[in-house]
Amino acid sequence: MDTSDGAGVKLRRTLGSPQLDSLDPFLLLDEFKSDQPGDYLAGFPDHPHRGFETVTYMLAGSMEHRDHAGHHGTLVAGSVQWMTAGRGIIHSEMPRQENGLMWGFQLWVNLPAALKMQPPRYQEFPPEAIPTVESAGGGRVRVVTGESAGVAGAVSGIATTPLYLDVALPAGAAFEQAVPAGHSACVYVFEGHALVGDARAPVDAGHLAVLEGGDAAGVTAGDAGVRFLLLAARPLGEPVARYGPFVMNTKREIQQALADYRNGTLGG
């Protein structure tokens, strides 16, 4: 669905929408894409997080990040930030441009109960640090995390052992990726058209397909080629209590997060 977040940034939300609330452990997937400054200039001013991880992957444009603990960085086209909010982070994500295309994704990944109050941490990688491998038929795979064709991704040490691939295929090319049995998995098409899974279900740009069963994900490009995200991770199977930027296991823990934020101890 089309929506907005932050101070009015326009985006398309698939996971975290009324049609698909979540796909354990994935909580939200947003795509932001616009060359109209009014759609993104207001950015995402200071806001808190606790109990999960945010993954920001940029395709075009530049975004500056700052948090309450003094961490500062800039995400440029092709870079990734995997932020483990843990017990709490208050941060801002603001455009570093006044015009041009801003395009990227933000994924939210839940943390297991035992790790929700761990210290915050970041894994940030520039474009050149994300491994790229060639796939059959002339395709290209950027490995953010997990493994593809024997190549390990840039991000490591994540509790849910996720797979995050950016795959580009020319017209008619096929791609297959091993996915551990029992992991939640989905394909988000953001350019072109794909046929997904054994059923060869048609999926257009801006749409997400949930994969069920089996130990591999198969995608075939349409006549104009395709580019998509392939996401998979180990489900947690734990209760989820969710309120805005806080994701815990119980209502009491959410109330504590709100109290900590109000009294200035979130993340302390």
pTM of the model: 0.96
Neighbours of 267 (CB within 10 A): 21
139 and 124 in one domain? no
| Residue 268 lies inside a defined structural domain of this protein | no
- pLDDT of the residue at 101: 95
Output the six-digit token pair for 134: 């060639």
96 and 55 in one domain? yes
254 and 160 in one domain? no
- pLDDT of the residue at 98: 87
| Residue 103 lies inside a defined structural domain of this protein | yes
Q: Which domain holds residue 209?
A: 131-233
135 and 124 in one domain? no
147 and 100 in one domain? no
Into how many domains does the chain fold?
Answer: 2
Q: What is the pLDDT of residues 12-54, one digit of tens each?
A: 999 999 999 999 999 999 999 999 999 999 989 999 999 999 9
- CA diameter of the chain: 56
Q: What is the pLDDT of residues 204-251, one digit of tens each?
A: 999 999 999 888 999 999 999 999 999 999 999 999 999 999 999 999
- pLDDT of the residue at 268: 66
Average pLDDT value over all residues in the chain: 95
115 and 21 in one domain? yes
